[in-house]
């Protein structure tokens, strides 16, 4: 027996039409670096998305299933592309503008992008790549920047505004299969080739609903969210779609991602929410400590993509800004957990929950797997690799235009769960605490040492701006931790004092013997600690090590 309910496909076009009509007055504000930012309503964005779809189909010959790359900052035009491209049946492929040139070339060729939409300010990055991108027939440029950089290159160049001008402001969006591809994003590819995750209309729709739930970000049309997390990094955590469902206003920083303009944006536009990786919040904290700014409008902030040091959360608590920790991956759309504490607790009782990665929503099932493949209990103590499954979790990677989907054994279990590569514990009430990436765990004399615990403890020291701990080979123990520390301005290194400080929060046998001061922790293209660089620097003898 089947249910008697209507079978309406869950499509991005439905999100778009809902936002442009029911929430037509909500706005997308894009920072321009000038006195007045640029504002556009959801109704205008909806009209322009339809115009863009007409232009792409009628002028550029885009057909359902074609992939279109976007090399863009967070701004209104990028939101238009986010809505128009999937709605017309094509596939939005966001390109990470911080990737090395050869990886970008590999990714565009693998996805077989026919068109690239680019911001003018990114043409210096795009132009030298184009001779290596045979599939790209058209480049559509929006915003300020030197167009002459594209002179003499093969693709036809179009001006975004000219291309969409005068076209109809409604479009008969096709009634697609909800499982068809809507968007794709390649993982950062720290090992091997980057891997393409292809989001479906259905997964985006369901994920957006979860983002909007009160137990997740829980925003409404009374809110404005400052979307710092790039649109090229896991769909800006789903915000451009989720906001169109509920009318949340968006504040888009475009290319102004440095702490000073971010602080100014917050003070002037008074967003109630923001989303970004810890590095951004560290930078903003240093900025507002040196030059106080009013951040009080931000009732809540979603912080994720890398572990949030508890000391950072405490520092923002003091500024009246509540950070809420979230965990996710490109493969998980990304919302996997959020650390809203259970009801009925005092501030003090909430704290241990807030510093976890958070609990799983109904759409994400989780299990912990031990080294021998055994399933571990949720007792807050048994540490294993996290595996997840759910309607917005990848079940495979894109195999290319002619290839089959890829299900590498190290990424997917035999029964189809995603192996996250993250190691941690889960409490009986479903809160996840990550202790490491599987490849970053320090295995010392048969015991595991958590690099994240050591980093968090070090970053709580008043002289320490940032700290990264990696495993280095050790004759006696197999591996031992190496502490690399970035000092705050004006502080001097006193390793013995740092070690004594660490001893207050971790077991004695876990204390690092090897220490070094570095000017900055190397970061990946999406702002996470890049530990493989530190391990390589150590192996190559580039670091000045002090042994205690
Ligand atoms: P990406 O696919 O580039 O977004 O990277 C996903 C990885 O980032 C995860 O597998 C984790 O290792 C890491 N990550 C994301 N969020 C957190 C978090 N809240 N705490 C610790 N690590 C995180």
User: Does a structural domain hold residue 233?
Assistant: no
In three-state secondary structure terms, 239 is helix
How many other C-beta atoms can be found within 10 angstroms of the C-beta atom of residue 447?
12
- Closest atom of ligand 1 to 334 CA is 4
Give the β-pairing of 249-252 and 196-200: unpaired
Taking the CA of residue 395 as centre, how many other CA atoms within 13 Å lie in the half-sphere pointing to its CB?
A: 11
Q: What is the C-alpha separation between 123 and 282, in angstroms, rounded?
A: 30
Q: What is the pLDDT of residue 372?
A: 84
Is 448 labeled as catalytic in the residue annotation? yes
Whether ligand 1 lies within 6 angstroms of the CB of 455 is answered as no
**CATH number of the CATH domain containing 533:** 3.30.300.30
Q: 18-49 burial, b for 16+ CB within 10 Å, e for fewer?
A: bbbeebeebbbbbbeeeeebbebbbbbbbbbb
Structural domains in the chain (count)? 2
Give the distance (Å) from ligand 1 centre to CA of residue 217: 18
Whether ligand 1 lies within 6 angstroms of the CB of 312 is answered as no
Do 58 and 106 touch, CB atoms closer than 8 A? no
Q: What is the pLDDT of residue 448?
A: 81
**80, 178, 287, 331: the active-site residue:** 331
User: Does a structural domain hold residue 248?
Assistant: no
User: Does a structural domain hold residue 521?
Assistant: yes
Q: What is the pLDDT of residue 190?
A: 56
Whether ligand 1 lies within 6 angstroms of the CB of 187 is answered as yes
Give the distance (Å) from ligand 1 centre to CA of residue 159: 37
User: Does a structural domain hold residue 341?
Assistant: no
DSSP for 510-534 reads GS-SEEEE-SS--B-TTS-B-HHHH
In three-state secondary structure terms, 262 is helix
**187, 225, 246, 332: the active-site residue:** 187
Whether ligand 1 lies within 6 angstroms of the CB of 330 is answered as yes
Give the β-pairing of 447-449 and 442-444: antiparallel
**350, 448, 513, 523: the active-site residue:** 448
Is 331 labeled as catalytic in the residue annotation? yes
**443, 488, 509, 542: the active-site residue:** 443
**Mutation test residue for ligand 1: of 186, 188, 216, 305, the one with most atoms within 8 Å of CB:** 305
Give the distance (Å) from ligand 1 centre to CA of residue 2: 39
Whether ligand 1 lies within 6 angstroms of the CB of 422 is answered as yes
User: Does a structural domain hold residue 164?
Assistant: yes
**Mutation test residue for ligand 1: of 277, 304, 328, 432, the one with most atoms within 8 Å of CB:** 328
Helix (H) or strand (E) holding 547: strand 546-547
Atom 15 of ligand 1 has which residue's CA nearest to it? 305
Looking at 184, 200, 216, the residue that finishes a domain is 200
Is 187 labeled as catalytic in the residue annotation? yes
Whether ligand 1 lies within 6 angstroms of the CB of 306 is answered as yes
Give the distance (Å) from ligand 1 centre to CA of residue 369: 18
Atom 9 of ligand 1 has which residue's CA nearest to it? 329
Whether ligand 1 lies within 6 angstroms of the CB of 531 is answered as no
User: Does a structural domain hold residue 139?
Assistant: yes
Looking at 149, 184, 200, the residue that finishes a domain is 200
Whether ligand 1 lies within 6 angstroms of the CB of 234 is answered as yes
User: Does a structural domain hold residue 344?
Assistant: no
Q: What is the pLDDT along the chain (548 residues), one digit of tens a residue?
A: 999 999 999 999 999 999 999 999 999 999 999 989 999 999 999 999 999 999 999 999 999 999 999 999 999 999 999 999 999 999 999 999 998 899 999 999 999 999 999 999 999 999 999 999 999 999 999 999 999 999 999 899 999 999 999 999 999 999 999 999 999 999 965 557 889 999 999 999 999 999 999 999 999 999 999 999 999 999 999 999 999 999 999 999 999 999 999 999 999 999 999 999 999 999 999 999 999 999 999 999 999 999 999 999 999 999 999 999 999 999 999 999 999 999 999 999 999 999 999 999 999 999 999 988 999 999 999 999 999 999 999 999 999 988 899 999 999 999 999 999 999 999 999 999 999 888 888 988 878 888 999 999 999 999 999 999 999 999 888 899 999 999 998 898 799 999 999 999 888 989 999 999 999 999 988 888 999 999 999 999 999 999 99
Give the distance (Å) from ligand 1 centre to CA of residue 176: 32
Give me the domain span that covers residue 491. Answer: 440-547
**Mutation test residue for ligand 1: of 528, 529, 531, the one with most atoms within 8 Å of CB:** 528
Whether ligand 1 lies within 6 angstroms of the CB of 456 is answered as no
Atom 5 of ligand 1 has which residue's CA nearest to it? 329
At residue 91, what are phi and psi to the nearest 5 degrees?
A: -120, 120
Whether a cis peptide bond, with omega within 30° of 0, leads into 131 is no
Atom 22 of ligand 1 has which residue's CA nearest to it? 306
In three-state secondary structure terms, 471 is strand
Atom 7 of ligand 1 has which residue's CA nearest to it? 329
- Closest atom of ligand 1 to 234 CA is 4
- The whole-angstrom distance between residue 340's C-alpha and the CA centroid of its chain comes to 19
Tokens 């941690």 locate to 424
Whether ligand 1 lies within 6 angstroms of the CB of 387 is answered as no
Give the distance (Å) from ligand 1 centre to CA of residue 271: 25
Q: 127-153 burial, b for 16+ CB within 10 Å, e for fewer?
A: bebbeebebbbbbbbbbebeeebbeeb
- The whole-angstrom distance between residue 336's C-alpha and the CA centroid of its chain comes to 12
- Closest atom of ligand 1 to 437 CA is 12
Q: Which two tokens stand for residue 84?
A: 């128009």
Integer-rounded Cα radius of gyration of the chain = 24
**CATH number of the CATH domain containing 155:** 3.40.50.12780
Looking at 150, 175, 200, the residue that finishes a domain is 200
Q: Which two tokens stand for residue 537?
A: 């620097």
User: Does a structural domain hold residue 292?
Assistant: no
Whether ligand 1 lies within 6 angstroms of the CB of 129 is answered as no
Q: What is the pLDDT of residue 152?
A: 95
Is 443 labeled as catalytic in the residue annotation? yes
- Closest atom of ligand 1 to 233 CA is 4
- Residue 347 exposed, middle or buried by CB count within 10 Å (0-12, 13-18, 19+): exposed
**Mutation test residue for ligand 1: of 191, 329, 330, the one with most atoms within 8 Å of CB:** 329
- Residue 428 exposed, middle or buried by CB count within 10 Å (0-12, 13-18, 19+): exposed
């Amino acid at each position: 027996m089947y249910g008697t309910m209507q079978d309406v496909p869950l499509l991005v076009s439905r999100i778009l039409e809902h936002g442009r009509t029911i929430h037509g007055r909500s706005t997308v504000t894009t920072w321009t670096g000038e006195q007045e930012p640029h504002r556009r309503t959801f109704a205008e964005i909806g009209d322009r998305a339809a115009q863009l779809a007409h232009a792409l189909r009628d002028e550029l010959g885009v057909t359902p299933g074609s992939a279109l790359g976007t090399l863009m900052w967070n701004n209104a035009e990028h939101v238009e592309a986010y809505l128009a491209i999937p709605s017309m049946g094509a596939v939005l492929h966001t390109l990470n503008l911080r990737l090395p040139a050869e990886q970008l070339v590999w990714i565009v060729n693998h996805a077989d992008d026919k068109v690239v939409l680019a911001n003018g300010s990114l043409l210096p990055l795009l132009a030298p790549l184009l001779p290596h991108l045979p599939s790209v027939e058209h480049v559509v440029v929006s915003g300020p920047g030197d167009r002459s950089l594209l002179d003499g290159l093969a693709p036809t160049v179009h001006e975004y505004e000219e291309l969409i001008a005068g076209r109809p402001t409604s479009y008969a969006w096709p009634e697609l299969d909800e499982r068809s591809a809507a968007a794709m994003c390649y993982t950062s590819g720290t090992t091997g080739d980057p891997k393409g995750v292809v989001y479906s209309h259905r997964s985006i729709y369901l994920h957006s609903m979860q983002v909007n739930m009160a137990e997740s970000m829980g925003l409404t049309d009374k809110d404005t969210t400052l979307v710092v997390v790039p649109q090229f990094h896991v769909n800006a955590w789903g915000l451009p779609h989720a906001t169109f469902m509920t009318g949340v206003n968006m504040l888009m920083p475009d290319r102004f991602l440095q702490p000073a303009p971010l602080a100014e944006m917050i003070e002037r536009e008074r967003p109630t929410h923001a989303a970004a990786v810890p590095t951004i919040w560290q930078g903003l904290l240093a900025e507002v400590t040196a030059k106080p700014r009013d951040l009080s409008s931000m009732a809540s902030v979603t912080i994720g993509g890398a572990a949030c040091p508890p000391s950072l959360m405490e520092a923002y608590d003091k500024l009246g800004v509540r950070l809420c920790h979230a965990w996710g991956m490109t493969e998980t759309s990304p919302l996997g957990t959020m650390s809203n504490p259970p009801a009925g607790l005092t501030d003090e009782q909430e704290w241990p929950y807030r510093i976890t990665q958070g609990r799983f929503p109904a759409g994400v099932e989780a299990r912990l797997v031990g080294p021998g493949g055994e399933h571990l209990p949720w007792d807050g103590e048994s540490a294993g690799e996290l595996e997840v499954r759910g309607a917005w979790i990848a079940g495979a990677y894109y195999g290319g235009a002619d290839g089959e989907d890829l299900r590498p054994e190290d990424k997917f279990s035999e029964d189809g769960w995603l192996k996250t590569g993250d190691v941690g514990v889960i409490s009986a009430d479903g809160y996840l605490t990550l202790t490491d990436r599987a490849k970053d765990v320090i295995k010392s004399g048969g015991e595991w040492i958590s690099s994240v615990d050591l980093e968090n403890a070090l970053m709580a020291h008043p002289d320490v701006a940032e700290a990264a701990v990696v495993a280095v080979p050790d004759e006696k123990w197999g591996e031992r931790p190496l502490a690399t520390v970035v000092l705050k301005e004006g502080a001097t290194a006193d390793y013995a004092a740092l070690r004594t400080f660490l001893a207050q929060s971790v077991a004695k046998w876990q204390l690092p013997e090897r220490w070094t001061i570095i000017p900055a922790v190397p970061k990946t293209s999406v702002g996470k600690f890049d530990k493989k660089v530190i391990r390589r620097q150590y192996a190559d003898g580039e670091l000045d090590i002090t042994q205690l």
